[in-house]
Structure 1
């Protein structure tokens, strides 16, 4: 499933909040950027068409939706294309970029070292 950046922004609210109406999504998005309600409603309609969200009922006259896909399932389909487009398809290039741009905290580095050690141990057992 391919989603635009704005569609992904809207999906984040569904993943965080659960059931939401278009009005609620619009109110949350307007805290960060000036967007017309109709624009948000169009995005919600597209997400429903793509089966990323589904109707769950009504609050008064407003339709209520929830995510029909998990963030993890979408990440697994988006990440390979992202790495391919921006890092020549090499995960190592992404990791190098994160490290060189000082985006990792000491806690992040500790976590990665532990994770890589576990991953290496699994490979060594094969």
Structure 2
């Protein structure tokens, strides 16, 4: 499965943001991702290529060979990756009662986040 235990670096996050903005099942080459990133930052093509290869090795992107180039897509949605990070953080803390950690999280949540949690829980109860 994906290796989401470590937080993304700044450039890794920027690359993932580009890939997450694609329609489902679409892919991009390093050159295409570099072109998008170069609009807002000074970054070398080879640096983007290295980061995208590293993301593929971490399991965060899927890499397909097409001729001499590779095409990439995100291995999971932004929401799925966020959930994996949250679960990983809870797992890293050991086998304590997770209830207090979840309560502390919800205590700092905005009204919109609480509404989204209630909606998700209601959908689980209905299913």
Q: Which has the higher contact order (CA 8 A, sep 6+)?
A: 2
Q: TM-score range by the shorter chain?
A: 0.5 to 0.7
Deviates more, 1:62-71 or 1:44-53: 62-71
Say yes or no: does 1:4 pair with 2:44: no
TM-score w.r.t. length of structure 2: 0.61
Describe the shift of the 1:30–1:92 C-alpha distance in structure 2 as closer, same or farther (beyond 3 A). same
Question: How many pairs were matched up?
Answer: 104
Out of 56, 59, 62, the residue aligned to residue 69 of structure 2 is 62
CA distance in 1, matches of 2:8, 2:117: 32
Query: Equivalent residue for 1:75?
Result: 82
What are the Cα deviations for residues 84-105 of structure 1, in whole angstroms up to 9, with x where unaligned?
xxxxx5214542xxx6xxxxxx
Give the superposition deviation at 1:62. 2.4
Larger-gyration structure (1/2): 1
CA distance in 1, matches of 2:44, 2:84: 30
Give the unaligned 5+ runs of structure 2.
Answer: 90-100
Please identify which structure carries the higher helix content.
1
Give the superposition deviation at 1:39. 1.0
Query: Equivalent residue for 1:84?
Result: none
CA distance in 1, matches of 2:77, 2:53: 18
For the aligned residue pairs, the C-alpha RMSD in angstroms reads: 3.4
Give the superposition deviation at 1:49. 0.5
- Secondary structure at the aligned position of 2:59 is classed as coil
- Secondary structure at the aligned position of 1:13 is classed as helix
